[in-house]
Amino acid sequence: MKICRHLRDFLEQKEYLELPAVGRFDLFTESMSMPKGEVLINKKLSFSPSRKTGFDDALVDFLCQRLQAEASVVYSDIQSFSSAINELLMQGFEAEIPGIGFLNQNGNSGIQFTYQSSYKKRTRLKKAMPAYFMSYWM
């Protein structure tokens, strides 16, 4: 089941997202007055890592409605998603929360949140390579 495509919607509606054994995202809205009486609204996202394993019932209810699924299936999917994120981080890889951002393990055994991937984009080879030399991943 694809729960990750609905996480951003939950975050925007509730202004927070808590993933078990990963952490909590909080959405803050700041408004600035402009000289001509206009108001500029800026949204900021903060992340605080947490090893708390409890589930957020509001998230489970939201996903049950969106996916038209039973709570036990949604609990299992959230647990699987959180475990996959932690597994990637423990192995030193970057973990993506689709539509939200990326998590990386920093040197102090903490988790760092960024909006953009820290991986460099690969460039394609301009010269055609023989089919027997092509990698599956290219």
Tens-place pLDDT, residues 96-136 = 999 999 999 887 768 899 988 887 655 454 455 444 444 43
Contact 101, 83 (CB under 8 A): no
Q: How many CA atoms lie within 13 A of 135 on its CB side?
A: 4
User: 28 - beta bridge partners?
Assistant: 44
Q: Which two tokens stand for residue 88?
A: 């990637």
What pTM was estimated for this model as a whole?
Answer: 0.76
33: CB partners within 8 A, 6+ apart: 39, 40
104: CB partners within 8 A, 6+ apart: 89, 94, 95, 111, 112, 114, 118
3-state helix, strand, coil in the chain (%, to 5): 35, 30, 40
Tens-place pLDDT, residues 65-106 = 999 999 999 999 999 999 999 999 999 899 999 999 999 988
